[in-house]
Amino acid sequence: MTTKLDYFAMRAARGLMSRREFMGRAAAMGVTATAAATLLGDAALAAGPQKGGTLRMGLQGGSSSDSLDPALATNQVALMAIRLWGEPLVELADDGGLEGKVAESFEGSADAATWTFKIRSGITFSNGKTVTAEDAAASLMRHSGEDTKSGALGIMRSVKNVRAEGDSVVVELDGPNADLPYLMADYHLIIQPNGGNDDPTAAIGTGPYIIKDVEMGVRLVAEKNPNYWGDLGNAETIELLVINDNTARVAALQSGQVDMIDRVPPKTAGLVARAPGVNVHSTAGPGHYVFIMHCDTAPFDNNDLRLALKYGINRQEMVDKILFGYGSVGNDTPINASYPFYTEIEQREYDPDKAKFHMQKSGYDGPVLLRTSDNSFPGAPDASALFQQSAKAAGINLEIKREPNDGYWSEVWNKQPFCTSYWGGRPTQDQMFTTAYLSSADWNDTRFKNEQFDQLLIAARAELDAAKRTQMYADMGNILHNEGGLICPMFNDFVDATSDRIDGYVENTAGYALMNSYAPMRMWVKA
């Protein structure tokens, strides 16, 4: 039976059989849809990519107020544009490891406080200039310093010095950090000629494509870079169209105006998947939707009250009704299986009795005010209403205050003691914890200050022994799980969709949506 299925998969991959037909035959042979999709993906990859053609994508998040400066990139469209023309030193591989981009290889000193990245020899920028270690060092330095506006400033703050040394860049830290190479995969840290200091928005880099035409928030056209050093990039031309409206984006895919879209609304993803010529892909990621309490503000400064709320939320219900199954339950830590060094913690279940017990123990019996808005995460007001109902069963009176989308991130999030929010996640535990759970973190949006947690975090950075590090992160996870101000009911999947016109989607890659935003380069237009 397997050979027959393989044969079908091969035919499907070569376009001799439709994907729909293949899935049908696979189902008839008793193969689950997931397994069949994987098989088909493997077969498509084995058949090999085809070169040429124009690949169009419709993406959400772009705006005419965007800039081409990688330091200022904040959304999916800006990220996708960066991927086309530029590269960081290293990049996340599909399995969550690292692969070299502008850097050929890297190594750390024994104390993990100094890291050396060897620049790939002989590669050039799209303006013909050869990439030097000086360019790379200047690129990193542009994101540090007090007057930068870069989104990577948080990462660069622990960097003491960057210098070029022969054909290598040496990054010196103010303390050990075993994860530094992961930080260098940040999408802001693109290597530009002279560090981009001459013209940060020139979009000149070492990427597989060259930007030909750009109108911010509308369209971006890129053509294959003939001098690209690697084998990335199949389509001759990639067109990026900004379609912020959900319905319009799905319609554009269905009518063949675009070949791939991101952020299919979970609510309609099931319906979209049934449309002819459309494939919906769901990828687990580190992104999560949260309810955050300030641990230093009454009544949330009482851990029993926090526990009461944690027990008073029905996580599975949220996954079913808010994510429509496109996600997984959270466990009150920001970490899930998509992280390296992950250990499972016993799942906290919805338990009205325990919630009631902790509520009584806290001695607080007034109402608890929860602020929410539509843009804190899709469906946040609905999720808040669900939370209100499940908490009510435990005798907790949750009051919901709907805040305007406008100004939510400046007026409510990280200001008000209890609100809904989301996190995109980070590639490593260290980065996630350092960003939001270290006592001194700028975005410590739960005001979580725990000395033991901080010590473990610093110690884990210097720990090169994987087993010991895993244990440390497990301990930290437990502290957050039991004492933190984070209620994490769910991890949201990335839901993308592609048309039958293109092939080569790889399921379950690490990083961001659309194959860590490499889908347009790695997929191909079927002949």
Partner 1 sequence: MGSVTRLLAQRIALGLLLLFLVSILIFVGTIILPGDVAQSILGQSATPEALANLRAELGLNEPAFSRYFSWLGGAITGDFGTALTSGLDITTEIGRRLGNTLFLAFWAAIIAVPLAIFLGLLAVRYRERWPDKLISGVTLASISIPEFLIGYVVMFYIGVKLRWFPSTAVSYRPDADLLTRLDSIALPVIVLTLVVLAHMMRMTRAAILNVMQSAYIETAELKGLTMFTIIRKHAFPNAVSPIVNVVMLNLAYLVVGVVVIEVVFVYPGMGQYLVDHVSKRDVPVVQACGLIFAAVYIGLNMVADIVSILSNPRLRHPK
Q: Which residues bind partner 1 (CB under 8 A)?
A: 58, 63-67, 72, 74, 146-151, 153-154, 201, 215-219, 241-245, 247-248, 251-252, 254-258, 404, 406-407, 409-411, 413, 442-443
* Number of CB atoms found within 10 A of residue 474's CB: 16
Q: How far is the CB of 238 from partner 1 (least distance, A)?
A: 15
**Among 3, 95, 10, residue whose Cα is nearest residue 46:** 10
Q: Residue 93 or residue 251: which is nearer to partner 1 going by CB?
A: 251
Query: From the CB of 156, what's the least distance to partner 1, in Å?
Result: 11
- CB nearer to partner 1: give 261 or 396: 261
Amino acid at residue number 491: F
**Angstrom distance (rounded) from CA 132 to CA 167:** 7
The least CB distance from residue 505 to partner 1, in Å, is 22
Q: How far is the CB of 248 from partner 1 (least distance, A)?
A: 5
Rg for the chain (alpha carbons), in Å?
24
What are the φ/ψ torsions at residue 494 (nearest 5 degrees)? -80, 130
446: Cβ contacts below 8 Å, ≥ 6 apart: 292, 293, 294, 295, 436, 437, 484, 485, 486
Q: In sequence order, what DSSP letters do the residues of 197-230 get, joined into one string?
A: -S-TTS--SSSSEEEEEEETTTEEEEEE-TT-SS
Please give the full DSSP string across 467-507, using - where no structure is assigned. HHHHHHHHHHHHHHHHH-SEEEEEEEPEEEEEETTEE---S
Least CB distance to partner 1 at residue 388 (A) = 25
In the bound complex, what is the minimum distance in angstroms from residue 151's beta carbon to partner 1?
5
Pick 3 or 410: Cβ nearer partner 1:
410
SS percent in the chain: helix, strand, coil, step 5? 35, 20, 45
**Closest distance of CB 487 from partner 1, Å:** 18
Q: To the nearest whole angstrom, how small is the minimum distance from the Cβ of residue 249 to partner 1?
A: 8
Q: Which is nearer to partner 1, 141 or 164 (CB)?
A: 141
- When the beta carbons of 61 and 395 are compared against partner 1, the nearer one is 61
- The minimum distance between CB 300 and partner 1, in angstroms, equals 21
CA distance 480 to 332: 7
Nearer to partner 1, 201 or 455 (CB): 201
Instruction: Give me the least distance between CB of 74 and partner 1, in Å please.
Output: 5
Residues 6 or more apart whose CB falls under 8 angstroms from that of 397 comprise 366, 367, 368, 391
Q: What gap in Å lies between CA 43 and CA 4, rounded to an integer?
A: 13
Do residues 456 and 472 touch, judged by C-beta distance below 8 A?
yes
Closest to partner 1 by CB, 244 or 316:
244
Nearer to partner 1, 2 or 65 (CB): 65
Question: In what helix (H) or strand (E) does residue 288 lie, and over which residues does it extend?
Answer: strand 288-293
Nearer to partner 1, 61 or 230 (CB): 61
CA-to-CA distance for 343 and 339, rounded, in angstroms? 9
Of the candidates 439, 408, 404, 438, the one whose C-alpha atom is nearest the C-alpha of residue 421 is 408
Closest to partner 1 by CB, 261 vs 472, is 261
The CA distance from 330 to 339, in Å, is: 14
